[in-house]
């Protein structure tokens, strides 16, 4: 007998991913790990958009459009963040957040 995946299951998964991202954001010192944590949090929000769209309004595509918007913004954010991280690494030879705060140009 197959069980159906309910909205509660998807929300539980999304909540777990979001708090894993928050934990990574608060505990990591490496800028790449922080960026990955932010992306994980954004993806958990995307899961929510698609899940609520599927279970509450299956005839509309509002959740899918929000998903596409968030993915586009996340891609732009990642490109800018990686460019900043590469610049800092070239200048300072490391990407530790604590050391970057002390940096003098």
pLDDT tens-digit readout, 72-100: 998 998 999 899 888 888 887 877 777 76
Given the structure tokens 């922080």, which residue do they identify? 34
Q: Are 21 and 38 in contact (CB under 8 A)?
A: yes
d(CA 105, CA 62): 46
Tell me what pLDDT residue 89 has: 84
d(CA 10, CA 33): 25
Tell me what pLDDT residue 39 has: 92
Tell me what pLDDT residue 99 has: 72
Classify residue 48 as exposed, middle or buried by CB count within 10 Å of its CB (0-12, 13-18, 19+).
buried
Residue 56, number of CB atoms within 10 A of its CB: 11
Weakly modelled stretches of the chain, pLDDT under 70: 1, 100-105
Tell me what pLDDT residue 25 has: 93
């Amino acid at each position: 007998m197959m069980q159906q995946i309910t909205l509660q299951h998807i929300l539980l998964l999304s909540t777990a991913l979001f708090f894993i991202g928050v934990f990574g954001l608060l505990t990591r010192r490496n800028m790449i790990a922080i960026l990955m944590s932010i992306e994980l949090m954004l993806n958990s929000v995307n899961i929510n958009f698609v899940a609520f769209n599927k279970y509450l309004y299956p005839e509309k595509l509002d959740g899918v459009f929000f998903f596409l918007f968030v993915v586009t913004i996340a891609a732009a954010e990642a490109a800018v963040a990686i460019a900043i991280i590469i610049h800092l690494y070239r200048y300072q030879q490391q990407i530790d957040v604590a050391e970057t705060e002390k940096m003098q140009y």
